[in-house]
Structure 1
Amino acid sequence: MTQESQAAEANASGNDNLLLQAAAPLLNAVVQLRQAVTHDDPAGLRQSLIDEIRQFEQRCKQAGLPFEMIIGARYCLCSALDEAAAQTPWGTRGVWSGNGMLVTFHNESWGGEKFFQLLSRISQSPNQHLWLLEVVHYCLLLGYEGRYRGSDSGRVQCDAIRKRLAKLIEETRQPQSESARPLVEVHPLVSSISRPMIPLWACATVAALLACLLYSALNWRLGNDAEPLLRAIYQTPLPQITVGRRPSSPQALLDLRQRLNDVIAAGQLEVSDGAFGSKVIIPADKLFAEQGTAINPVGRALLARVATAMKNVKGTVLVSVFTDNRPVDNSRFASSYEFSFARARAVTQLLQSQLADGHAIRSEGRGDSDPLLPNDSNENRTRNRRVEITLFAAPETLSNHQGTQ
């Protein structure tokens, strides 16, 4: 089956799945993105997709679909659109490189992990999440691979996941085929408004003002309502997978601990070496003022030291920012995830100016997920407020290291 026919099937099949019907234009866009080798106006395309995602949300709300279902489907669709764009020459640079759909709607730069975490969670209750499972299935049919992309057996693993999901959907739908289940009830909004004799421009001005206020209120509510779902996604355990062979001694390869020995001894940061890379852990209070997102001068000097230590090892740098469990006392942010992502972007921008070519930098806001200690004292909350900068060495760097041993 070609990708075009798969996208067409998304429009035609599952006629009782209102979520899939609402998502059909975005699934078609995934196919178009994969086939677009060149594009004259990537910025305009990005804006049109943003508008289409908002229309998708509106269609779902008009159909009375649950909020959690809409957010989950939007996350999967944004991930699929971003991956499709990333496979094109024009999608790896310019406006798309750091401002994809996930950044715009979920304050995240990569969804390859949480896509499959979400799938694992909703698969445990297929009757409750059948419509969302079918949307995820179509994303996989159209080539989405997420964290499996680039690994030796990634395509095989994705095919196995897709087949298991198709079987789960079929088994869930079979009991419902004997008696058709009712569609989600749609409540059209009908209003009768008497219009006073006032100028048209005044009506337009008031309407625009009300729309701005409504958008701000809904955006704030969306951030608050989405925070429990994001926390649940982050806390979902990942399955153990086997990846390519890594060097047995990453310390000798990355050597970050030795290069940062003086600031480690001064208690300004910690370095943790693992099987997949080296992680620098910095207390957030050393970089930012309380409830602030601007890096202070001491923090800038500290991050410059970290960048200098990482400069000679090409690879991917992941910036993760964590908060404690206290509410964010900043009117700019609706949730701790938005707040932590803003801090992560600030650190990323500074590192980009310091690191040489050959480093890909990603950022994520983790909010109050994954605390190091229970948030039951000021000391523990201070430990949990942290910035983690993880360096994953590029394959060619690993190959050179193995060749010299």
Structure 2
Amino acid sequence: MQAALREGGVDTNDTSPKGLPFLVAAARPQLNLLYHLRGLHEEPDPEQLRTAVIDEMRAYERKVANANVDTQHARVAHYALCATIDDVVLSTRWGGASNWASNSIVSTFHRDVQGGERFFELLEHFHKDPGRNRDILLLLYLCLSLGFKGRLRVSARGALELSQIRDSLYRTLQSSMGDVEREVSPHWRGINARFSKARFKNLYPAILGLLVLLCAFGYIGILRLLNTDSDSIMVAMAAAPPQGNPSIKVIKPAPQPIEQVDRLRNFLAFLQPEVDRGLVTTSRDGNKVLVRFRNTGFFATGSADVSPNSSV
């Protein structure tokens, strides 16, 4: 039973809550099993589960027998737990497909083959005297809350009738015991406290430091990428013409033209009187001037010296 119940997430070693009647406190493992049976994610082995439940019900029978509990209440409590476990198991897909119905827990211990038909009869009987039967009524109420429906499961108005029975039983228990929790697990919610930022104040420096560190790594990474790309661009620019450093050549302005004196013209003008007298002739060839003297007495015959009697 221990292994089977642990597969369903049930801890059979849970301590009993203070203030609960012994009939209910001793049935803590069975009640936990009922709660977890409907939410199993994996289908258990029905035969293995049945064997484990039988062992646990025998343990419950021994615990109740050793306690100062009314014999009739102990017998009815045992029957109610067996009938509820059968009803919940047979309502599942895997339980309905097994042979659990022909080998039910309630038929094993109580020779009841009608599938817990007596549950509502017993509830009605004990409900007539809630003062004396408060403990057993509380256990029956928990069985209804954990899934027992019996014949009402297939009835057209079963859900409504079951709700009325449960509400009536709740009011009875409330009047005799005070407020009874209508929820199976009333303390599942967290503390209803206002949100406080104090717990997160110590996280701000850590978050800020992390952001600064991420920004620094991001900056370094981007800088490395830019340097890698710029190196290739600088190499390409260095190889592009013109080679070497650029220079500026200063062009000197052209010199002012110097007015040239036409010496040949002056020379010809100088000889013009002799030309007019027929003493000489001139002819110009480019930059050269040829002067011919027409005076035959200028040189003596066979002499290279100018005759003193010549006149020009």
Q: TM-score, normalised by structure 2?
A: 0.50
Larger Rg: 2
Greater RCO (CA < 8 Å, at least 6 residues apart) = 1
More strand by share: 1
